[in-house]
Structure 1
Amino acid sequence: MKRFVVLWVTIGLLASGCNSDEQPTKNVSDPQAVEDGADSEGRTMPLTGLTADGDISHPVVMVMVNNHPKARPQTGLDRADIVFEVLAEGEITRFAAFYHSETEGTVGPVRSVRPYYLDLAEGLNAVVAHAGGSPAAKERYSQSGFPSLDGIAEDGKYFTREDFRQAPHNLYTSVEQLLQGASEQGFADRGPLPQLTFSAAEDVGGGATANDIDIVYGPLYAVRYTYDTAAGHYTRWTQGEMHVDLETEQPLTMHNVLAIKASHRVLDEQGRREVGLTGSGEGWLFQKGTVREIQWKYVDGFPRPYADGQELPLVPGKTWVNVVPEDADVRYGDEEE
């Protein structure tokens, strides 16, 4: 018998289309506190908490990745350390994919940016790769010194139009090109790396069983995560199909799924939104087939999960964050054979 976690997002059907609990923890900023998961120098990757391998001084890169049905399956989401999924306009979601652990590989299709995605990028001190943006976003990233690589403007040399898809769903880049662009444009030295908190314990505890999660943004944006106990990770599904990478044909997997409620306000006829990602709210943290109801707070550049006044650590590995409106409803359960 199957009982599914269901998270329904109540939104109006607006115009689509795109116009422009307490476990031992370790903080990546404190190498002395890290034992397991650190290299011989006590270093871990800042966005995953996994063992650092080689130089980690390069900047974090955030890529705006298209999630229109015509853009699926995407390329390179499997290599991202952290992925945010947020409504971009109407009922269309878009991914903000953060790369640091892996420094190679194609990513795309690339799409336009919104101000709240820039909030996320600034929080993690990232260079932003995008294809234009809304008027409000452009006002910000056009400022002198803003770490922006715009694939449809002067930074187009770091991007490529592919012929197997039609525009605007065919703009691609690579992590190598973006790191080269960051260096050539003077964005390589971004200062301190982000600091997230990860669990040093093998298990997390205190949560109810929740092996299946369904998040419905709209008719074309139904998302499911299923937990694989043997593998120790979640697998993502979109519109009833396993969400795979275009190149590898392997499923997208992650170790943490964080669903958070945030304020949403429609701004114009195109359905562009204002989304409050730098405040606080309710949410759910899914780890190792369990769920904790949490309060999230934007602290030190990231919407961190809290319960009973204490920050809950992330499981070392990849993290996906689903941002939903405040009127979303969540129910969870487990799968039983």
Structure 2
Amino acid sequence: MKNKNANKRKILSIHFKHKQTKYILILLFILLVLAITFLIINLNKKQENASVNKPAEVKVEKKEEKLPPQKIYSSLLGMELKNKEELQKPVLGVMIENSVPARPQSGLKDAEVVFEAVAEGGITRFLALYQHNTSNLIGPVRSLRSYYLDWVGSYNASIAHVGGSYDALIRARDGHHRDMDQFFNDSTFWRSRDRYAPHNVYTTTNNLHQLAQKYNWNSSNFQGFSHRDDNKEIQKDAKQVNITISGYLYNSSYNYNQECNCYLRNQAGSPHLDREKGQISPKVLIAMKINNGRASDGYHTNYQTIGSGEAIVFQEGKAMAVEWHKDSENSPLYFKKDGKNFEFISGQKWIVAIGNYDGNMSWQ
């Protein structure tokens, strides 16, 4: 009996121990779960705190640098234009007389480029070019010479004139030129009553543009001059320029004027005046040395305009040696220095053809 009770107590003791172990394991499991849960909660809180405390990312928008709009300058005068389309505005060329009865002329001061050469007998004649400038009175308009067509061709320009030498008219009327001969376009020109013929034919840029539109000459495509800003501080070495082109009545001189940064033109010992606008004062004077002689008729002058040669540019009171180049009638007239296009200041350009036959120049 005692052994049975002892065994029974022993069994109960073992059962109690097993049950105790089971509860301990369950408790440990619960504690482990709680610990893991606690760790997860703390980890999440740390991440949230880190996210809250982390400085916000600043998004920097990259702004594209806007360059100032590129300025556009006209090819002849160097004046600022509103858009590129204006570069192709048609160029008008007009032959203007320079005999003594034709003085003072009208419209020369408005011209953007003026070519000066001898027509015949030492008498000079001007080719005035207008693209963006306008003039309400241009003249007296006179006859054409063949070499002026080569200069006109450089600018894809029309040419207004009253007849011309035989060789000039043969070329001008070949169907490949923008010929504005007064003989066939009488309504574009008129004769004034305050001068006698043939020194009294006049026109306007408005009349010429209307005639150009009639023939559908609505644009001019050409390579013009290179330009730069003025530099009045440049060293002066050509404040007075003297040009011998034929004789006293047609020789000219130019006095540099600091105020306008231009050259005041004199002719036959007196200021050369535009009748409506005062003394002619180009910003740039170009003296081109060109071979010249008599034309085939033995009377008119001829110039070798195609090729190359020496030239002197006078601007800002300084003389600079350059080279002129022209390959054909319709190719550009280039002026180069050290192999690069010479840069002119903006303003009227007066180009004088100084022939080796009868021309000369000096400056100081």
Give the TM bin, normalised by the shorter chain.
0.7 to 0.9
Q: Which of 57, 71, 76 is the equivalent residue of 2:102?
A: 71
Say whether 1:260 aligns with 2:260: no
In structure 1, what is the equivalent of residue 226 of structure 2?
197
Alpha-carbon deviation of 1:94? 0.3
Structure 1 residue 45 and structure 2 residue 62: aligned? no
Opposite residue 222 of structure 1, the aligned amino acid is N
Corresponding letter in the other structure for 1:239: A
Say which of 116, 131, 144 aligns to 2:147.
Answer: 116
Corresponding residue for residue 354 of structure 2: 324
When the two chains are superposed, the root-mean-square deviation of aligned CA atoms in Å is 2.3
Judging changes above 3 Å, is the alpha-carbon distance between structure 1 residues 78 and 301 closer, same or farther for their aligned structure 2 residues?
farther
Pair 208,235 (structure 1): closer, same or farther in 2 beyond 3 Å: closer
- Counterpart of 1:209? 237
Counterpart code for 2:342: L
4+ aligned runs moved over 3 Å, structure 1:
200-205, 299-303, 327-330
2:249 counterpart residue number: 220
- Output the CA distance in 1 between the equivalents of 2:284 and 2:331: 18
Shift, 1:201, TM fit: 5.8
d(CA) in 2 for partners of 1:255 and 1:266? 32
Match of 1:87 in 2: 118
Amino acid of the structure 2 residue aligned with 1:316: S
Deviation track 1:174-222 (CA, whole Å, cap 9, x = no partner) reads 00000000101222244x24432112463585x7601111112213212
> What is the match of residue 233 of structure 1?
262
Structure-2 residue corresponding to 1:129 = 160
2:171 corresponds to which of 140, 151, 155: 140
2:320 alignment partner in structure 1: 292
| 2:273 pairs with 1:244 | yes
**1:78 alignment partner, SS class:** coil
> What amino acid sits opposite 1:199 in the alignment?
R
Which segments of 5 or more consecutive residues in structure 2 lack a partner in the other structure?
A: 1-67
User: Which structure's residues are more often strand, by fraction?
Assistant: 1
Question: 1:147 deviation in Å?
Answer: 0.6
Aligned-pair identity (%): 30
Which of the two has higher C-alpha Rg? 2
Distance in 2 of aligned mates of 1:270 and 1:170: 27
Asked whether the 8 Å contact 1:233–1:288 carries over to 2, the reply is: yes
- After superposition, the Cα gap between the structure-2 partners of 1:184 and 1:83, relative to the gap in structure 1 and judged at 3 Å, is same
Contact 2:108-2:138 within 8 A present in 1 as well: yes
The structure with higher relative contact order (CA 8 Å, sep 6+) is 1
**Mapping of residues 129-208 of structure 1, within 5 Å:** 129-151=160-182, 153-190=183-220, 192-200=221-229, 202=231
TM-score, normalised via structure 2 length: 0.75
